[in-house]
Structure 1
Amino acid sequence: MKEREKPVFNSLLKQYLHFGLPVDQIDGKIDFTIHNLQDIHLGLPFKSPVYRANFFSFVFVKDGHGKYTTDDLGFNTVPGTIYFTNPGHYKSYEWEEIKEVYLITLSESFLKENVHPDVFEEFPFLLAETVLPRVLDPESFSEFEQLYLQIRKEYFASSPYRNRLIGNLFVVLLLKIKEYFWKDYNPIYEGNRSSQIVKNFKMMLEKHYRDLSSGKVTQVFRVQEYASAQNLHPNYLSNVLKSKTGKGIGTWITEKTIAESKSLLQNSSTSIKEIAYVLGFSEASHFSNYFKKHTGLSPVLYRKQQDTPKS
């Protein structure tokens, strides 16, 4: 399949619909999902096409067998396997047997709103370009099982605090992942030169938008600033990002701007005019047009939907 033909999905709901898989377990109202893949893959074996997902995925294989590929990395999924991927990678998977395999997916905006606004500062491994899976013994795996089953319970509950409960439980889950897998994680030493460039760019992008949101800086970085920070030509940085992630630098900046916009819009005390200014827009109308172009909703309507109580 040619690169341009590989589908791109911004949510698991759209991915499953494209693959013709059941979606009754998916709540399309929030950027978070959790379910046992046994309830989705009713006909096995199953092999997916190559695709790109623009959301985070966490997989917990208590009992199942299959194969997984992300970019150029492939591995077998066996009982006790835990792995995760972040947005932007080419992926494919196949399952031969599924008895208990839980999948959690969530967006960056959900992470920032319900886990922590500086989530990547506390958990830098979330920005790693490719993370190798780990296979745990049953006793260690059970610690994660208790957490993801509790998250699943809250996901299907009707509490008005559902998202906050899920967010707090997910913090514990991330801390356990950090404890078991990445206690001494340091992204600068991981991978080859291109991987380091991608990681450095992601970290700089995250820090810059965090500084924008906090008011530490008011000038939005251009491509040149991101390139100069690594002593690179802008075209070279763009080429590396495109080849390693499938997304050009403009797409990365756009997606980050939209993610920050959503996070700020969920804070009802911040006016849309202020949000526009914080994110470098000269006029609130320019920001509104930009947001609607990339989300299909105006900032006002998006905020209204977030303020509407969800069952």
Structure 2
Amino acid sequence: MKEEKLRIFNDLHEQYKHLGLPVSLIDRQSDFTIFNLADIRDMITIRPPISRLNFFVFAFVKNGQGNYTIDEQRFDIRPSTVYFTNPGHSRSFDWAEVGEVYLITLSESFLKENVHADIFEEFPFLLAETFPARVLAPEVFEEFERLYLQIHKEYLSHSPFRNRLIGNLFVVLLLKIKEYFWLDYNPIYEGNRSSHIVKNFKRLLEKHYRDLSGGMLDRAFRVQEYADDQNLHPNYLSSVIKAKTGKAIGTWIAEKTIAEAKSLLQNSSISIKEISFRLGFSESAHFSNYFKKHTKISPASFRSEHILKLSKG
């Protein structure tokens, strides 16, 4: 399939609706989902079309057989397989058997808001260009199983603390992944030169916005600065990012800006004017218009809604 024909999906609900799969198990109001593929086994296409997913996916295969391809790299799926992918990659599957397979999908905003504001600093493997699947020993897989089943239980609950409970349990899950996957991770699997360019861009993007939101910088990078960091022409960097991730570099920057803005609005008491300056906006009105354009809500209303949710909790 030609690259330009790949469909980009911003959440699992959007993807499943397009594929004609049931969406009743997916909460559209949340940036987090978890469910068992066995519940829709009879409707799953053995070879769904290639697509790009604009969200994180964590898969826990207790029973299942097949393979999946991330960009140009192919990995086997067997019982006790655990893997995850981050936003921007093309993915395809070839299922021979679908048994008990739990999928967790979530956005960067959910990670920032409910797991950890500096999530990528504590868990840098989340930015890895490609993270190979691992087949775990049964007793090790059981550790993950207990965690994702507890997360699933909280996901189905109506607790006012649901997202906070999920966030805390997810930290434990990430620590387990870090323990069993990352300590002996071999970066040779990161792929070719283009993959390294994407990886370095993502890491600089994360660090730059962490510095901005921390007040250590007063101006947001332009594409030129991201290109200078790797001694590349900005047009070449833009073309690599677009080709490898399916998203324009401007989209990556915009999404990061909004994610950091949401984190600051929810996790700090600094003024909206100060937030706008920290994120590189010369005028708070410009920031407010930018935020509303991308979220359909003003920064002030977003913060007010968050405070109201906390008071009800």
The TM-score range, normalised by the shorter chain, is over 0.9
Is 1:3 aligned to 2:3, yes or no?
A: yes
2-structure distance, mates of 1:62, 1:76: 14
> Do the aligned partners of residues 188 and 225 (structure 1) sit closer, same or farther apart at CA in structure 2, a change above 3 Å counting?
farther
> Could you say which residue in structure 1 is the equivalent of 2:198?
198
2-structure distance, mates of 1:137, 1:259: 36
Greater shift in the superposed pair: 264-273 or 221-230:
264-273
> Could you say which residue in structure 2 is the equivalent of 1:89?
89
Which one-letter code corresponds to 1:84 in the other structure? F
Map of 1:127-138 to 2, 5 A cutoff?
127-138=127-138
Q: TM-score, normalised by structure 1?
A: 0.92
> Could you say which residue in structure 1 is the equivalent of 2:283?
283
Report the alpha carbon displacement of residue 201 of structure 1 after superposing the two structures with TM: 1.1
2-structure distance, mates of 1:46, 1:188: 30
> Could you say which residue in structure 2 is the equivalent of 1:73?
73
Report the alpha carbon displacement of residue 308 of structure 1 after superposing the two structures with TM: 4.7
> Do the aligned partners of residues 242 and 220 (structure 1) sit closer, same or farther apart at CA in structure 2, a change above 3 Å counting?
same
Report the alpha carbon displacement of residue 191 of structure 1 after superposing the two structures with TM: 3.2
Greater shift in the superposed pair: 284-293 or 56-65:
284-293
> Do the aligned partners of residues 308 and 4 (structure 1) sit closer, same or farther apart at CA in structure 2, a change above 3 Å counting?
farther
Report the alpha carbon displacement of residue 239 of structure 1 after superposing the two structures with TM: 2.1
SS in 2 for 1:42: helix
**What's the RMSD between the two structures over aligned residues?**
2.1
> Could you say which residue in structure 2 is the equivalent of 1:257?
257
SS in 2 for 1:211: helix
Which one-letter code corresponds to 1:210 in the other structure? R
The answer as to whether partners of 2:62 and 2:101 remain within 8 angstroms in 1 is yes
Which one-letter code corresponds to 2:21 in the other structure? L
2-structure distance, mates of 1:94, 1:189: 21
SS in 2 for 1:215: coil
> Could you say which residue in structure 1 is the equivalent of 2:153?
153
The answer as to whether partners of 2:67 and 2:93 remain within 8 angstroms in 1 is yes
Report the alpha carbon displacement of residue 11 of structure 1 after superposing the two structures with TM: 1.2
Percent identity between matched residues is: 68
User: Which structure has more helix as a fraction of its residues?
Assistant: 2
Q: Deviations over 1:173-227 (max 9, x none)?
A: 1111111111144759943322222111111100110011110111111111111
> Do the aligned partners of residues 6 and 215 (structure 1) sit closer, same or farther apart at CA in structure 2, a change above 3 Å counting?
same
> Could you say which residue in structure 1 is the equivalent of 2:293?
293
Gaps of 5+ in 2: none
SS in 2 for 1:266: helix
Report the alpha carbon displacement of residue 68 of structure 1 after superposing the two structures with TM: 1.3
Report the alpha carbon displacement of residue 104 of structure 1 after superposing the two structures with TM: 0.4
2-structure distance, mates of 1:206, 1:43: 38
Which one-letter code corresponds to 2:174 in the other structure? L
Which one-letter code corresponds to 1:164 in the other structure? R
> Do the aligned partners of residues 277 and 181 (structure 1) sit closer, same or farther apart at CA in structure 2, a change above 3 Å counting?
same
Which one-letter code corresponds to 2:155 in the other structure? Y
SS in 1 for 2:242: helix
1-structure distance, mates of 2:158, 2:213: 32
Report the alpha carbon displacement of residue 46 of structure 1 after superposing the two structures with TM: 3.0
2-structure distance, mates of 1:227, 1:188: 23
Which one-letter code corresponds to 1:279 in the other structure? L
Map of 1:1-311 to 2, 5 A cutoff?
1-185=1-185, 190-267=190-267, 269-309=269-309
> Do the aligned partners of residues 203 and 44 (structure 1) sit closer, same or farther apart at CA in structure 2, a change above 3 Å counting?
closer
> Do the aligned partners of residues 112 and 126 (structure 1) sit closer, same or farther apart at CA in structure 2, a change above 3 Å counting?
same
The answer as to whether partners of 2:21 and 2:43 remain within 8 angstroms in 1 is no
Which one-letter code corresponds to 1:216 in the other structure? M
2-structure distance, mates of 1:208, 1:187: 23
SS in 2 for 1:102: strand
The answer as to whether partners of 1:44 and 1:97 remain within 8 angstroms in 2 is no
Q: TM-score, normalised by structure 2?
A: 0.92
Report the alpha carbon displacement of residue 17 of structure 1 after superposing the two structures with TM: 1.5
After superposing on structure 2, the runs of 4+ consecutive aligned residues of structure 1 that deviate more than 6 Å are none
The answer as to whether partners of 1:52 and 1:89 remain within 8 angstroms in 2 is yes
Report the alpha carbon displacement of residue 268 of structure 1 after superposing the two structures with TM: 6.3
Q: Deviations over 1:98-120 (max 9, x none)?
A: 22100001111111121111111
Which one-letter code corresponds to 1:176 in the other structure? K
> Do the aligned partners of residues 268 and 228 (structure 1) sit closer, same or farther apart at CA in structure 2, a change above 3 Å counting?
closer
What is the count of residue pairs matched by the alignment?
311
Greater shift in the superposed pair: 268-277 or 153-162:
268-277
Gaps of 5+ in 1: none
Greater shift in the superposed pair: 91-100 or 104-113:
91-100
The answer as to whether partners of 2:131 and 2:189 remain within 8 angstroms in 1 is no
